[in-house]
Amino acid sequence: MKKNSFQQEQEYQYRYGQGSGSGLWAEAPKEEPERQYYFIEQARGMLKARFEAGLSSGRALEKYGKEQLDELLAGEFFGTFCVVTFGCQMNARDSEKLSGILEQIGLKEIQSENADLVLYNTCTVRDNANQKVYGRLGYLHALKKKRPDMKIALCGCMMQEPTVIEKIRKSYPFVDIIFGTHNIFKLAELICGRLERDRGMVIDIWEGTDQIVEDLPVERKYPFKSGVNIMFGCNNFCSYCIVPYVRGRERSRRPEDILAEIRRLVADGVVEVMLLGQNVNSYGKNLEEPMTFAELLRKVNEIEGLERIRFMTSHPKDLSDDLIAAMKECEKVCRHLHLPLQSGSSQILQVMNRKYTKADYLALVDKIRAAIPDISLTTDIIVGFPGETEEDFAETMDVVRRVRYDSAFTFIYSKRTGTPAAAMEDQVPEDVVKERFERLLKEVQQISAEVCGRDLHTVQKVLAESLDDHQAGYLTGRMSNNTTVHFPGDASQIGRIVDVRLEEAKGFYYMGTQV
Ligand code: 5AD
Ligand code: SF4
């Protein structure tokens, strides 16, 4: 674990606060995950004692109301929690792990922030994600004034930035616990630290880690599908991107741990997994016994009972021929590839440090489509990177028109302090960026409406994922290529893969009927 001096000071305050080496900490096992199971028990004990005191004083009834209190008692819970996730699939998976720990310490998950513990799992990839968190902290403060024993915890990518911690300490002193991306497994220990001294802020930020703690509890959002981390961090240092600074260097999980986790998930009812990493194509390079992502896919494909495999995200520079071959031959691998373009201009790509040109990217797309003709391609594009000229932007539009993506996530460039791009001259004026962004969005939407209809009148395998929000008696599901389909069905079918005839193409989705 590496720390800078600011963080060391924080850590010191934290250790000091918990009574350095006394009581709970003197007895704690040194090894993980045993240590965290110990703290889960300790936190549970403390919460139970508080809850029981509230029951006998009548305070619990006042706080929860009869209905919620009855639910807590029936489920043997000692309070409530709410986790709010910002950002990507990685964060969503981290939140499932955090929820797993919180359930084990005896808290019940609710969807409202009027809870005993509110945890924001933050994102900092673009500045608007940060602004959202600050905005909502104001709202949380108002809630906490009415509920003084409420605890507020912040974690995730934004917390890895020292300037953010400084700002929260100064302007949001009502926050109770702050931790980062490298130590989410420690949540129970941090909660013990905060409960034991019952004042102040517990801050624990690690600058990096090579530790991967396996086998902690997880509370999945969906019973039938799950994200599975295969690696953490990123080594690419694209010049606009803050991820390598907040998620650290690339670390791959051992294949046997990944496969064991997926087997456990399948035994528990999961039919679809999403293999997660910032750059899955460089999986396995730093393992003791190196292994490629293509080899891992083939092994996952052999797992009996598993029906679908997705993965996210691929970097075009590392997408090998062997991976294309593996995708083609593995019948469980979904017909969808997310292949971030970022820009269509070779000049901008170079300054972005992406290590491919426009021609390389287009050649790769041709190769993939030749091998797997029915594949859906999606992408990420940034508009307004420093120095982007109208000609550069025209190159991006050209790639969009040639590739014809099923969908594209378009982003306005956001300056992230500490990245090389933030210090670049000729940042593009806001009005120019907005105008380009609108043009791109229009193009992308028009193409995707045309492209997404190509399977009309065919029968497709659809994983029924939820009840349709808009129409009673309907289900919402996803095709292998990730397109959404709405069709008549009932809740008992959720989690199953069913055959659906696509009757009507609606642009981004289909209406269908089961056959
Ligand atoms: N500004 C705008 N978009 C960004 N992304 C990453 N960093 C930035 C930034 N500074 C986008 C990239 C990436 C996606 C997850 O977020 O397109 O692929
Ligand atoms: Fe950021 Fe580039 Fe790494 Fe993706 S590959 S997380 S864009 S640095």
pLDDT one-digit tens code per residue, 324-375? 999 999 999 999 999 999 999 999 999 999 999 999 999 999 999 999 999 9
pLDDT digits (tens, 9 = 90+) for 233-247: 999 999 999 999 999
Q: Is the CB of 343 under 6 A from ligand 2?
A: no
CB 487 within 8 A of CB 499: no
Q: Is the pLDDT of residue 2 over 60?
A: no
Residue 313: cis peptide before it, omega within 30 degrees of 0 = yes
Q: Is the CB of 157 under 6 A from ligand 1?
A: no
> Is pLDDT above 70 for 392?
yes
- Tokens representing 494 are 């959720």
Ligand 2 pocket, residue 243 CB under 6 Å:
yes
In which band, very low, low, confident or very high, does the pLDDT at 21 lie, cut at 50, 70 and 90?
Answer: low
**Ligand 2 and 354: CB distance under 6 A:** no
15 pLDDT above the threshold of 70: no
Query: Residue range 22-40: average pLDDT?
Result: 90
pLDDT band at 4 (very low <50, low <70, confident <90, very high): very low
Question: Over 60: is that where the pLDDT of 10 sits?
Answer: no
| Helices of type H across 235-317 | 243-247, 255-267, 293-301
Angle of helix 321-329 relative to helix 358-371, nearest 10 degrees, comes to 30
Separation of alpha carbons 44 and 59, rounded Å: 19
Q: How many angstroms separate the alpha carbon of residue 242 from the centre of ligand 2?
A: 8
Rg (CA), the chain: 24
If you take atom 2 of ligand 1, which residue's CA is the nearest one? 413
49: its two tokens? 């004692």
Query: Strand (E) positions, 277-375?
Result: 308-312, 336-338
User: Is 278's C-beta closer than 6 angstroms to any atom of ligand 2?
Assistant: yes
How confident is the model over 400-416, as pLDDT tens digits?
A: 999 999 999 999 999 99
pTM of the model: 0.91
Nearest CA to ligand 2 atom 1: 241
Ligand 1 centroid to Cα of residue 391, in Å, is: 21
Q: What is the pLDDT of residues 86-113, one digit of tens each?
A: 999 999 999 999 999 999 999 999 999 9
pLDDT > 50? residue 437: yes
Answer yes or no: are the C-beta atoms of 232 and 213 closer than 8 Å. no
Query: 235 C-alpha to center of ligand 2: Å?
Result: 8
Give the confidence band of 18 by pLDDT, cuts at 50, 70, 90.
Answer: very low
pLDDT at 208: 84
* Cα–Cα distance for residue pair 246/254, rounded to 1 Å: 22
Q: How far is the CA of 239 from the centre of ligand 2 (A)?
A: 9
Instruction: Name the residue type at position 378.
Output: T
- 3-state secondary structure at position 114: coil
Q: φ and ψ at 414, to 5 degrees?
A: -120, 130
Ligand nearest to the CA of 246: 2
**For residue 23, pLDDT beyond 90:** no
Is 234 near ligand 2, meaning CB less than 6 Å away?
yes
pLDDT value for 513: 98
Burial class (CB in 10 A: 0-12, 13-18, 19+), 190: buried
Instruction: Note the pLDDT of residue 211.
Output: 82
414 C-beta closer than 6 A to ligand 2? no
Probe target for ligand 2 pocket from 243, 319, 385, with the most ligand atoms within 8 Å of CB: 243
Convert 380-412 to b/e letters by CB count within 10 Å (16 or more is b): ebbbbbbbbeeebbebbbebbeebebbbbebbb
Q: Using the mean position of ligand 2's atoms as its centre, give its distance from the Cα of residue 236 in Å.
A: 6
